[in-house]
Amino acid sequence: MISLLDGYAALSISDPARIKRIAKNNSDDPDVKAVWKEISKDVDDISSLPSSSDQIMKLSRVLGILRPVIMFLGLIVFTIYFILLGTGVIAHLGVVGAYAFLGAFIGAYFVGFAVYFMLNRRLTRTVNAYYENHMSEIARQRRHIKIVNQRLIDKLAMIVRSKDLDPKKYKFTLFHNDYVNINVISEDKNSIYTVTVKGKSLKQEQ
């Protein structure tokens, strides 16, 4: 139940893939199956929203090309260097020249990595801004997911109270703190809340 809540209740509208991973990893859990069947269309609608932006799709394509290049660029750089060194192509440059040549290749690698990092951050900001500007288009889906989240929270609270369990042993995270039946333990710098459900007596937890 906790892993389920950490996936569904902590849903980020810009990273719905997290929910899909939770559903896949807990596919044998009947609660997961039932909830996923109910909200899978909502998650797909939310995750597909940025695809309607030409700017986002263009950035995604560029990053899709850069990612494998960056992954193998270091290996390619050193392979080319040692091939040129072994064949004597850069022998006439001398030791200093050879190291300068290698330094230039390594510099190119780090420049490529820096470009990828900046473009990735730009994509994240662009996606988040796009969601903010088009929130009304996914309001129904987000509202439905929140209702399902609340139902899961209420179910966990019922289990904890009926078995007189310690709520602090069943912590999970939320992106919003406007759910009922929860106690907020902490909030991090990204406004992600660590919470528990209310214990045996609602009045005692308030």
Is residue 70 domain-shared with residue 29, that is, in the same domain?
no
Whether 54 shows a pLDDT value over 90: the answer reads yes
The per-residue pLDDT for 15 is 55
Domain boundary among the residues 100, 135, 170 is at: 135
Q: What are phi and psi of 177, to 5 degrees?
A: -110, 20
Domain boundary among the residues 135, 168, 189 is at: 135
Encode pLDDT of 168-180 as tens digits: 888 888 888 889 9
Is residue 69 domain-shared with residue 123, that is, in the same domain?
yes
Is residue 184 domain-shared with residue 166, that is, in the same domain?
yes
Q: What is d(CA 34, CA 23) in angstroms, rounded to the nearest whole number?
A: 10
The per-residue pLDDT for 92 is 67
Q: How confident is the model at residue 27 (pLDDT cuts 50, 70, 90)?
A: low
Encode pLDDT of 106-151 as tens digits: 787 788 788 889 999 999 899 889 988 998 999 999 888 888 888 8
Is residue 45 domain-shared with residue 58, that is, in the same domain?
no
When divided into structural domains, the chain yields a total of: 2
Taking residues 189-198, report their average pLDDT. Answer: 85
Is residue 40 domain-shared with residue 69, that is, in the same domain?
no
Q: What is d(CA 77, CA 72) in angstroms, rounded to the nearest whole number?
A: 9
Is residue 145 domain-shared with residue 181, that is, in the same domain?
yes
Between 35 and 53, name the one with better pLDDT. 53
The per-residue pLDDT for 97 is 67
Domain boundary among the residues 135, 168, 196 is at: 135
**DSSP letter (8 states) at residue 189:** T
Is residue 80 domain-shared with residue 99, that is, in the same domain?
yes
**Residue spans of beta strands (DSSP E) within the chain:** 172-174, 182-187, 193-197
Quick check: 4 and 35 in contact, CB under 8 A? yes
The per-residue pLDDT for 10 is 41
Cβ partners under 8 Å of residue 111, min gap 6: none
Q: How confident is the model at residue 4 (pLDDT cuts 50, 70, 90)?
A: very low
Is residue 63 domain-shared with residue 110, that is, in the same domain?
yes
Is residue 35 domain-shared with residue 12, that is, in the same domain?
yes
The per-residue pLDDT for 128 is 87
Is residue 129 domain-shared with residue 83, that is, in the same domain?
yes
- The residue segments making up the domain with residue 191 are 2-49+141-205
